[in-house]
Amino acid sequence: MCGIVGYTGRGSAARAVFRGLKALEYRGYDSVGIALMHGGRFALHKRVGRVDCIQDVQEQNGEIGIGHTRWATHGGVTEENAHPHVYQRFAVVHNGIIENYRILKEECLLRGERFSSETDSEVIAHLFEWEYRGDLLSAAQRVCRRLRGSYAIAVLCLDFPSVILCAKKDSPLLVGASVEGQFAASDLSAVARKGVTCYRMENGEFSILDKESVSFFGADGTAIEKTPVSYSLQEQDTELGGYGHYMIKEIDEIPQAVERTIRAFKREIEAVQGLKDVFRIHIVGCGTAYHSGIAAKLFAQKRGCVSTEGYLASEYRYGDQTVDANTLVIAVSQSGETADTVAAAVMAKKRGAKLLAITNVAHSTLTSYADCVLHTKAGCEVAVAATKSYNAQLAVLYSFFDAFSACRERIWKGLPDLCKKTIEASRRVKEWANQMKSAKCAYFIGRRFDYAVAMEGSLKWKEITYLPGDGLAAGELKHGTLALVDESTPVVALITDQAVADKTFNAVHEVIARGAPVYVVTSIPSYANCEGAVDTVLIPQTKEEYMPMLSVIPLQLLAYYAAVALGNDPDKPRNLAKSVTVE
C-alpha cells in the first residue's frame, strides 16, 4: 500500500507534494512525511497521523521534494518508521515490500551503518549510499538488481539539487511532465491535471526528473521513449463538492456511474468476441470486487453461459482449480492494483488462460497483463469502502455476460433511473442506523442474488462501523447462526426475488421469534408491511438478476449513517486502505 509523491520544478515543492499526498491518502493514512531539498540539505518532516497533520509544511521553501503516506507493514506506526528515510546523501520514499531486506540490512550493519527505523524501506537509502559512485542512474541500476519484492521509489540525492530518480517493480508509478514542473506519484489522480503529460512506468524502468524535463531509461540504462497515457480530467475529479464525506457523495453518484458504464460498454463490445472460445469462466477479486463477481456468477448461470465460478483472488492464486487455455479468467478490481488479484491474473496467464480485466483505473498494473480490458466508468472513488464501483462492476459484468451468451436481452437502460429512485427510497435507513449502532452483531440475510448482496452489505457494515456483522444465506441460519440471534442482534432481510421470497420470509419469522429486531429491504409490495419487522424499505422492482444493483444501496447507506452516528470517519476506516498492494 502507501502512496509516494515527488516534485521538482519552478513552483513550491512542499505545496505540490502535499497536494499529491492528499490525492493518495486513500492508499494508507497512519503516518506521513515530506523531505524537501534546500540549500544543500534535507528538511525532513514526519508525523504520525493523516496527511492533514503535515499541512503546515506547505509554507516551507524548496523547489524539489518527495513525500509518502503510509500503511504500516514492517515496523509500527511511529515517526521513525514514517518515510522519507534519509541516509547520508540520500532520501527515499518507497511503496511495496523489500522481501530480502533482512539480508541487505545485515550487510549494512556489518559495515557499521546505523538504522533509524524498523522498516524494510530504509535499507534502500543505505544501498544507494553504498552503490553510489557519482552517477545516480548506475547506482539505481545496481541497487535495484539487489532488491527482491516490489517497489516504487522516488529518490533524492544531495549531489543533484534538482533531480528525482524513480524506479519501479510490481508497484505502480506514474510520472507527469509539464512546463511548470515534473511530478511522480503512485497513481494518476495525483499527477493528472491541466497541462501535464502523464506516463506510466513499467517494471525495470527508471526515470530521471529535473526542473525542465523527464527522461526514461530501460533496465540496462539506455534511454527510451515512452508513449503518454491518455486520461480524462473529469474522471480524475476528487472534489468533495459540498458533501460531508466522499462515501455519501459516491453513493449519490451511482446512477451516473451505472449510466456511463453501460454506455461505454457498447463501444467495447467487439472485444468480447475474441474471448468466447472457452469451456469455463473464473471471476476473481477481493472484497467488494469479489462480491460483484458472486452476483455476476449467478447472472451468468441465469443466462446459461459456460460453467462460471467466483473466487477470492487470495485463495485462487494458491488453489488447485483447473486453469488452462480453455479458461477465461475475469479479474475484477476497482484499483487494478490489488496484489492478490494481480497475482491471480498473472498465475492464470502463465497457465495459458485468457485474461479479461475489469477495472475502474485505466493504466493500472492489472490492465497491463490483460488480453482485454473493460472499464467501469464510476469516476474516481476516494472512500475506502467501495460503493459506486460495485454497481459499475455489476453493469460491466452483466453487459459482458449478455454479450457472451448472445442473449437478446440487453442490460436495461432504465437502471440508472431506478438507482436514483432507490437512493431516495433508502434515506430512511438513517433511522435504522441510529437503532442498530449499538448492536452486538448485525446479520444480513437473503437467498440467491439477495445472498450475494447480503455479503456485500455485511462487508460495508464491518468496514466502517467496526461492529461485527455477517452476510448469510437465509436458509443456512438454522444450521448454526440462529444460536447467536437474540434482541441484541438486528437482522436485515433482503427480499427481492419473488421465486424465493416466501422462503426468506420464513427465516424472517424465525429470527423475529427469537427476539431479533428485523429490518426488511424489499421490492415486492406484498412484503412491505411485514408483521413483526421494525421497518421496511420498499425499493423499485426490476428483474431479480438486476436487483443487486439496487438492493445494495440501502445497505451502503445504512453502513454510512451508522459509521457517522458512531463518530467514525466513513471515508478512512481504521487499519484499512483502498488499494491493497501487499499480499
What are the residue numbers of the active site?
2, 578
What gap in Å lies between CA 374 and CA 417, rounded to an integer?
A: 23
Q: From the CB of residue 566, how many other CB atoms can be counted at a distance below 10 Å?
A: 15
Tell me whether residue 167 or residue 347 sits nearer to ligand G6P (CB atom): 347
Residue 80: which of 128, 118, 34, 27 has the closest Cα? 118
What gap in Å lies between CA 353 and CA 326, rounded to an integer?
A: 6
Phi, psi of 409 (to 5 degrees): -75, 135
Looking at 271-279, 299-307, 431-439, 575-583, which segment touches ligand G6P (CB under 6 A)? Answer: 575-583
Place of cell 486513500: 26
Burial of 242 per CB tally in 10 Å (0-12, 13-18, 19+): exposed
Spatial CB neighbours of 72, under 8 Å, sequence gap ≥ 6 = 28, 30, 31, 81
The answer to the question of residue 364 lying near ligand G6P (CB under 6 A) is: no
- Write each residue from 341 to 360 as x if it is in contact with ligand G6P (CB under 6 A), else as -, in one continuous string: x-------------------
Looking at 328-336, 405-413, 429-437, 505-513, which segment touches ligand G6P (CB under 6 A)? Answer: 328-336
The answer to the question of residue 207 lying near ligand G6P (CB under 6 A) is: no
Least Å distance, CB 491 to ligand G6P, is 24
What gap in Å lies between CA 420 and CA 93, rounded to an integer?
A: 43
**Residue sitting closest to ligand G6P (CB):** 287
The answer to the question of residue 251 lying near ligand G6P (CB under 6 A) is: no
Tell me whether residue 122 or residue 337 sits nearer to ligand G6P (CB atom): 337
Q: Which cell goes with 303?
A: 443466462
- Write each residue from 67 to 96 as x if it is in contact with ligand G6P (CB under 6 A), else as -, in one continuous string: ------------------------------
Tell me whether residue 136 or residue 295 sits nearer to ligand G6P (CB atom): 295
**Which residues within the stretch 378-417 sit at the binding site for ligand G6P (CB under 6 A)?**
384-386
Least Å distance, CB 243 to ligand G6P, is 19
Concatenated DSSP letters of 311-362: EEHHHHTT-----STTEEEEEEESSS--HHHHHHHHHHHHTT-EEEEEESST
The answer to the question of residue 286 lying near ligand G6P (CB under 6 A) is: yes
Tell me whether residue 196 or residue 580 sits nearer to ligand G6P (CB atom): 580
Tell me whether residue 91 or residue 361 sits nearer to ligand G6P (CB atom): 361
What gap in Å lies between CA 135 and CA 77, rounded to an integer?
A: 34
Looking at 128-136, 249-257, 562-570, 574-582, which segment touches ligand G6P (CB under 6 A)? Answer: 574-582
Least Å distance, CB 384 to ligand G6P, is 5
The answer to the question of residue 288 lying near ligand G6P (CB under 6 A) is: yes
Contact by Cβ (8 Å): 51, 90: no
Place of cell 422462503: 503
The answer to the question of residue 580 lying near ligand G6P (CB under 6 A) is: yes
Tell me whether residue 64 or residue 348 sits nearer to ligand G6P (CB atom): 348
Spatial CB neighbours of 114, under 8 Å, sequence gap ≥ 6 = none
Residue from 334, 367, 422, 551 touching ligand G6P (CB under 6 A): that is 334
Q: What is the 3-state secondary structure (H, E, C) of 11-79?
A: CCHHHHHHHHHHHHHHHCCCEEEEEEEECCEEEEEEEECCHHHHHHHHHCCCCEEEEEEECCCCCCCCC
The answer to the question of residue 189 lying near ligand G6P (CB under 6 A) is: no
Looking at 255-263, 285-293, 314-322, 448-456, which segment touches ligand G6P (CB under 6 A)? Answer: 285-293
What gap in Å lies between CA 481 and CA 494, rounded to an integer?
A: 17
The answer to the question of residue 12 lying near ligand G6P (CB under 6 A) is: no
Residue ranges in contact with ligand G6P by CB under 6 A? 286-289, 333-335, 338, 341, 384-386, 576, 578-580
